[in-house]
Amino acid sequence: MKTIDELLADGVSGKRVFVRADLNVPLSDGTITDDGRIRAVLPTVKALADAGAKVVVASHLGRPKGAPDPAFSLAPAASRLGELLGSAVAFATDTVGQSAQDTVAGLGEGQVAVLENLRFNPGETSKDEAERGAFADQLAGLADVYVGDGFGAVHREHASVHDLPARLPHYAGYLIATEVGVLKKLTEDVRRPYVVALGGAKVSDKLAVIDQLLDKADRLLIGGGMAYTFLKAKGYEVGISLLQEDQIPAVTEYMERAEKQGVELLLPVDVLVSPEFPDLKTNAPTNPTTVDADKIPADQEGLDIGPKTRELYASKLADAETVFWNGPMGVFEHPDYAEGTKAVAQALVDSNGFTVVGGGDSAAAVRTLGFDENAFGHISTGGGASLEYLEGKTLPGLAALED
């Protein structure tokens, strides 16, 4: 795929450049709580603006129902982008309507505008190719060139991600080029030992990537809510812990396969339990109990990996040459259950290997728990996109940037 450096070498002064970014940031009462994704696209936007382009940034935010919804407005993201750029950013209050047209027409060389949430238009996410294409045609009318830099959305067959690049000269932005380069290091010529730590709530979200990683990784460390389905498959009582009973046959098969293939698949040996899920609004203390993983009381819920497991997992990460981590080890948002996730993050920081934090909640945890982002080899902006790439799937947004 062609990169933004090639575009800049050809010259972009005065050209309208459409940048499909991922500004899907978390909001609390209209305030951005983590601006990581905005900062991630900054190098691309700044390079284009500095080169004299008229930069049109577009993104989705959340899951509005194909119609305007103030709760999902990109206005806060546009404001934050302006702060980070150190210059005013114009904001269009629609996607392809009069405001968008007037805003783009009013841009001077080196100026930046942000369009309103693309998902306010039903054509963005439509399953109907003609409807998506019609929206892509309207978006194409706002630009001369397309730069794809919204890695967190490249696994979606959406108009701005998949259909629009076919209508304009297209290039990969700095973020996408970096993300793809990192993922290739996790799938091609991998330095070993290769250790993968997987957490998060649902094991069903990770089955396909586990299937692929069993042929690539040397060790798999399992934590988070998904661990309890594995523990149940071993015949353990898991109390009222998160459990996907319908996934037990698949989990059992993977554990047997790992043993046959010589892949270490490690499960928690102890866990923190409580009779009820913690209140994440007040973070009131819960006084959790630590129990062995095969001794979870029937009326208790596992909410984090225990101290023995933290030590075990850290030791299994210590000599890794390549690490991929996706998914927290527990309910890291509450201080009582943050230590497991903190221990894995610290083990990555202490590692001399190439460490990748696989986006989503893992990236949020790194920031929430106060880690220096520069201490990791790479923090991805797309959890779902990263997983699908590792699953071996064709990602529509990346395929669209290929010539």
Inter-residue contact 15 to 147 (CB < 8 Å): no
Catalytic, 360? Answer: yes
How far is residue 207 CA from its own chain's centroid?
A: 17
Catalytic, 30? Answer: no
Separation CA 283–CA 261 (nearest Å): 43
Please calculate the CA angle 320-263-314 and round it to the nearest 5 degrees.
35
**If DSSP states are collapsed to H, E and C, what string results for 345-364?**
HHHHHHCCCEEEECCHHHHH
Candidate list 200, 330, 353, 384, residue with the active-site label? 384
Candidate list 15, 16, 20, 37, residue with the active-site label? 37
Helix, strand and coil percent figures for the chain, each rounded to 5: 40, 15, 40
Separation CA 76–CA 33 (nearest Å): 11
Catalytic, 224? Answer: no
Candidate list 359, 360, 382, 397, residue with the active-site label? 360
Query: In terms of Cα–Cα distance, which of 382, 377, 375, 283 is closest to 332?
Result: 283
Separation CA 226–CA 120 (nearest Å): 34
Candidate list 202, 234, 257, 308, residue with the active-site label? 202
Helix (H) or strand (E) holding 129, with range, is helix 129-140
Enzyme catalytic residues? 37, 202, 360, 384
